[in-house]
Amino acid sequence: MALANANELCKTAILSLPMEPPPALQDMLQMTVSEKRPTQKLKWKTDSPVWVQQWLLSKEKLKALQELMDEQLAKGHIVETTSPWNSLVFVIKKANKDKWRLLHNLRQINNVMEDMGSLQPGMPSPAMLPQNWNLAIIDIKDCFFQIPLHPDDAPRFTFSVPTLNREALRKRYHWKFLPQGMKNSPSVCQWYLFSLLSPVRAAAGEAIILHYMDDVLVCAPNDDLLSHALDLTIDSLVAAGFELQEEKIQRMQPWKYLGLEIGEKSGDAMKHLIQAFSFLGIPKSIKTDNGPTYKSKEFRSILQQWGVKHKTGIPYSPTGQAIMERTHQNIKRVLSQQQQAVKIETPSIRLSKALFTLNFLNCTYENLNPPIVHHFRENCQLQLKAKLPVLFKDPATRETKGPYDLVAWGCGYTCVSTPSGLSAQFTDVYELKEDIGVGSYSVCKRCIHVATNMEFAVKIIDKSKRDPSEEIEILMRYGQHPNIITLKDVYDDGRFIYLVTELMKGGELLDRILRQKFFSEREASAVLFTIAKTVDYLHCQGVVHRDLKPSNILYTDDSNNADSIRICDFGFAKQLRGENGLLLTPCYTANFVAPEVLMRQGYDAACDIWSLGVLLYTMLAGYTPFANGPNDTPEEILVRIGSGKFSLSGGNWDTVSDAAKDLLSHMLHVDPHQRYTAEQVLKHSWIACRDQLPHYQLNRQDAPHLVKGAMAATYSALNHKTFQPVLEPVAASSLAQRRSMKKLTSTDL
């Protein structure tokens, strides 16, 4: 039976045993786990090394990091290396303890790693176990540290340990086992434990063995079979090198498994319901899961006495689960930010104050007034009243600021203070450097974080010229996407908003196009795939960028890797909130504006696809489809954009594939309803089969100044051009024509 259910590696190990005398089951398990365990090789998007500079650490943290490294080195979890890869490590102190925890920031490594997906989507439910069977639960300690990495993948998980004042060479290590923070570690763990427990399940007979990550549940109808299955499971795990502690093996109830408590008595659930009914009132109906506790006769009887309908079998809802997790995170965040005096209160008081903060004092970027303001505005005696202007003295800089209006709820003057002092100003945390770019409403500069000496970019927006709340909300919600610029910090000094983002050292896509003059089709397809995939993500979230152009698409470094592309500058971006989903405010950049935007008839996400089509045209041809040089007049350019006519012949177009031309024709279709969506662009053969496209460079042209001149001319023309309304005689209007019609009486009708 064990041989029939074993995988190929286990079969080879078992067949290597002598057949006389026949091998016992313990011999088979020992042989399979003593053989070299298979490792799961990861798939990578690039072989180019990724190097993330190590932060400077304080003397205390540096000592803690060195002690943790000595401990991991002694256990054999890491080895010294000279790998060209490097990622960031730091330490944090555990709550209410003197011990430190090692954190390995693998975000950049995860970005170049292909996602394996979950091999076990969802936790096994204990409610599906047979009633009255015996249970035992094993909690595996440091499960990841016993699962080896593939030898080819291990050097990519390298980190450096700096020395104090650079007095010695820094030591560099890489992990031999699954590191915490690697996005595929859970999937590899699931696969590895399954391969270990497969022969045990086959030998355990009627017993049920469930595993999820580092928790293993063994269930059997009687004690003898449970002990047999538990011994086989423990022997298999220990022989594979896993560390098990006797106190972590649960043999008596109540069992705790995956955050759930198994074996809860009906009396406990009924006591909980009576307390809830007395506080919240008696509901008409309740829903519970399928657990034995909620199906007992006693539980149904008490609900009948209270007149409450009972339903079991709550279906799993991903949306509901996401809401619950987000609410839980918000409550944890508010609890952690409470004052020290509140933290000594009872848990119920702390929770009630946290819920009051979330429900009445919280606000969003769309509505900056918290709900408590709306509540007080209903009472005429508590209307907001502006008081005399006051001056404010900053205790940190000793500077006097103001005047500011003092506002109170009609109850006299109010003084508000925070125990932690004033929030830090931008200049206290960052040091401004040279300009990177200048726009109509903002300026972008390079800045340096004073504490860590790391480089960032800061976008300084004048609040009197533009409201940046929409841009901030979009970046905070969707900035975690790997191809959207990451928002690090936000500061407000009253006049300017400071948006601190990652620094794009690779420059603009437009400069890449002009510097290389032309991409090959394969390079252009890879770039368009990355950008279209990101635009598709934004459109699925209801976000329209409205200003996609090469200068708003940047590279994080000097490599030509398409995964290092970031979409930036969400100053014109909007979230579709109307019932018809249409935006009416015209925001665009010349050469990349869609026809429906110029017509001012409302437009939606299709305008972004038009911009992507212009971008693809520019990459393949080296010039924009609607402006050929600096001498083109604004009227000519706007007429070409409005007609949607462009040329796909002559020059490079004689060598460009038909698939690229077909995709361009659908992306630059003048009718937005017939234009491709981002999803259709990704499914087009020119994108889906990009690895088969020719890699030779397209023909070069020695006129890059025409591209810059054409763009500069149209930018300047549209910035100074005012759209004058076309006035017609009053008699020609539709309203006048309707009024001039002969009116019919009701009798005639």
CATH number at residue 554: 1.10.510.10
| 367 has pLDDT over 70 | no
Nearest to 422 by CA among 449, 392, 450: 392
Burial of 530 per CB tally in 10 Å (0-12, 13-18, 19+): buried
Q: Helical H runs in 553-605? A: 595-599
Cα 61 to chain centroid distance, Å, stands at 29
d(CA 620, CA 418): 58
pLDDT higher at 325 or 649: 649
Task: Say whether both 702 and 612 belong to one domain.
Answer: yes
How much is the pLDDT for 656? 86
DSSP label at residue 477: H
CB-CB neighbours of 692 under 10 Å: 10
Task: Say whether both 687 and 550 belong to one domain.
Answer: yes
For helices 521-540 and 658-667, the axis angle rounded to 10 degrees is: 30
Task: Say whether both 572 and 645 belong to one domain.
Answer: yes
The mean pLDDT value for 736-741 works out to: 47
d(CA 551, CA 553): 5
At 716, is the pLDDT very low, low, confident or very high (cuts 50, 70, 90)?
Answer: very low
Active site residue 357: no
d(CA 430, CA 361): 30
- H or E segment to which residue 713 belongs: helix 704-720
135, 218 in Cβ contact below 8 A? yes
| 156 has pLDDT over 90 | yes
Task: Say whether both 495 and 516 belong to one domain.
Answer: no
d(CA 556, CA 284): 57
Report if residue 278 sits inside a domain.
no
User: In angstroms, how far apart are the furthest CA atoms of the chain?
Assistant: 113
Residues near 344 by beta carbon (within 8 Å), at least 6 away in sequence:
none
Active site residue 552: yes
The mean pLDDT value for 615-632 works out to: 76
Burial profile 332-346: b = 16 or more Cβ within 10 angstroms, e = fewer: eebbeeeeeeeeeee
d(CA 474, CA 694): 38
Active site residue 589: yes
Last residue of one domain, picked from the residues 502, 518, 543: 502
| 339 has pLDDT over 90 | no
For helices 606-621 and 521-540, the axis angle rounded to 10 degrees is: 170
Task: Say whether both 495 and 565 belong to one domain.
Answer: no
Which range of 41-55, 158-172, 256-270, 513-527 scores highest in mean pLDDT? It is 41-55
pLDDT higher at 369 or 190: 190
| 299 has pLDDT over 70 | yes
d(CA 707, CA 626): 11
| 100 has pLDDT over 50 | yes
Residue showing tokens 């698939």: 659
Report if residue 74 sits inside a domain.
yes
How much is the pLDDT for 645? 79
Peptide linkage before 21 cis (omega within 30 of 0): yes
Report if residue 8 sits inside a domain.
no
Task: Say whether both 695 and 618 belong to one domain.
Answer: yes
Lowest mean pLDDT among 403-407, 460-464, 579-583, 622-626: 579-583
Lowest mean pLDDT among 586-595, 630-639, 654-663: 586-595
| CATH number, residue 115 | 3.10.10.10
At 563, is the pLDDT very low, low, confident or very high (cuts 50, 70, 90)?
Answer: confident
Lowest mean pLDDT among 1-5, 150-154, 477-481, 630-634: 1-5
- 3-state secondary structure at position 296: coil
- H or E segment to which residue 107 belongs: helix 107-111
Report if residue 285 sits inside a domain.
no
The mean pLDDT value for 23-37 works out to: 53
How much is the pLDDT for 415? 35
Share of the chain above pLDDT 70, in %: 66
Task: Say whether both 676 and 555 belong to one domain.
Answer: yes
Residues near 232 by beta carbon (within 8 Å), at least 6 away in sequence:
25, 29, 200, 203, 204
Report if residue 32 sits inside a domain.
no
Burial of 596 per CB tally in 10 Å (0-12, 13-18, 19+): buried
The count of domains in the chain is 3
Last residue of one domain, picked from the residues 212, 235, 257: 257
d(CA 54, CA 160): 7
Task: Say whether both 459 and 546 belong to one domain.
Answer: no
Nearest to 638 by CA among 606, 686, 598, 672: 598
- 3-state secondary structure at position 511: helix
| 618 has pLDDT over 50 | yes
d(CA 568, CA 545): 9
How much is the pLDDT for 725? 39
At 579, is the pLDDT very low, low, confident or very high (cuts 50, 70, 90)?
Answer: very low
How much is the pLDDT for 419? 32
At 501, is the pLDDT very low, low, confident or very high (cuts 50, 70, 90)?
Answer: very high
Active site residue 569: yes
Q: Which of 215, 569, 608, 632 is catalytic?
A: 569
How much is the pLDDT for 83? 92
Task: Say whether both 521 and 495 belong to one domain.
Answer: no
Q: What is the pLDDT of residues 159-184, one digit of tens each?
A: 998 888 777 888 899 999 888 888 88
d(CA 106, CA 643): 49
Residue showing tokens 């690697």: 182
pLDDT higher at 141 or 731: 141
Report if residue 90 sits inside a domain.
yes
The mean pLDDT value for 19-43 works out to: 61
Find the angle CA(256)-CA(258)-CA(261) to the nearest 5 degrees.
35
Lowest mean pLDDT among 24-38, 92-106, 546-560: 24-38
| 500 has pLDDT over 60 | yes
Active site residue 722: no
How much is the pLDDT for 22? 61
| 722 has pLDDT over 60 | no
> Rounded to 5 degrees, what are φ and ψ at 36?
-65, 120
Report if residue 195 sits inside a domain.
yes
Q: What is the pLDDT of residues 376-386, one digit of tens each?
A: 555 554 454 44
At 325, is the pLDDT very low, low, confident or very high (cuts 50, 70, 90)?
Answer: low
Give the domain range for residue 621.
507-719
- H or E segment to which residue 292 belongs: none
DSSP 12-42: HHHHTS-SSSPPPHHHHHHHHHHSPPP-PPP
| 723 has pLDDT over 50 | no
Task: Say whether both 659 and 567 belong to one domain.
Answer: yes
At 571, is the pLDDT very low, low, confident or very high (cuts 50, 70, 90)?
Answer: confident
DSSP 123-177: PPPGGGSPTT-EEEEEE-BTGGGGSBPPTTTGGGSEEEE--GGG-SPPEEEEESB
At 422, is the pLDDT very low, low, confident or very high (cuts 50, 70, 90)?
Answer: very low
Question: How far are the Cα atoms of 139, 141, 219, 262, 313 from residue 258, in angstroms, in the given order?
Answer: 10, 14, 15, 10, 19
pLDDT higher at 270 or 413: 270
pLDDT higher at 476 or 685: 685
Task: Say whether both 477 and 529 belong to one domain.
Answer: no
- Which sign, positive or negative, has the C-alpha torsion 581, 582, 588, 593? positive
Task: Say whether both 437 and 553 belong to one domain.
Answer: no
Mean pLDDT of the chain: 74
Nearest to 713 by CA among 591, 622, 611, 607: 591
At 142, is the pLDDT very low, low, confident or very high (cuts 50, 70, 90)?
Answer: confident
- Which sign, positive or negative, has the C-alpha torsion 127, 128, 130, 133? negative
The mean pLDDT value for 17-28 works out to: 56
Q: What is the pLDDT of residues 587-613, one digit of tens each?
A: 545 455 555 555 544 456 788 898 888
For helices 8-15 and 185-203, the axis angle rounded to 10 degrees is: 50
Which range of 215-219, 360-364, 527-531 scores highest in mean pLDDT? It is 527-531
- How many CA atoms within 13 Å lie on the side-chain side of 89? 25
| 657 has pLDDT over 80 | yes
Q: Which of 215, 536, 547, 608 is catalytic?
A: 547
459 annotated to bind ligand:
yes
Q: Which of 233, 561, 589, 591 is catalytic?
A: 589
Report if residue 373 sits inside a domain.
no
| 32 has pLDDT over 60 | no
Last residue of one domain, picked from the residues 480, 502, 524: 502
DSSP 215-265: EEEEEESSHHHHHHHHHHHHHHHHHTT-B--GGGEE-SSSEEETTEEET--
DSSP label at residue 83: -
At 535, is the pLDDT very low, low, confident or very high (cuts 50, 70, 90)?
Answer: very high
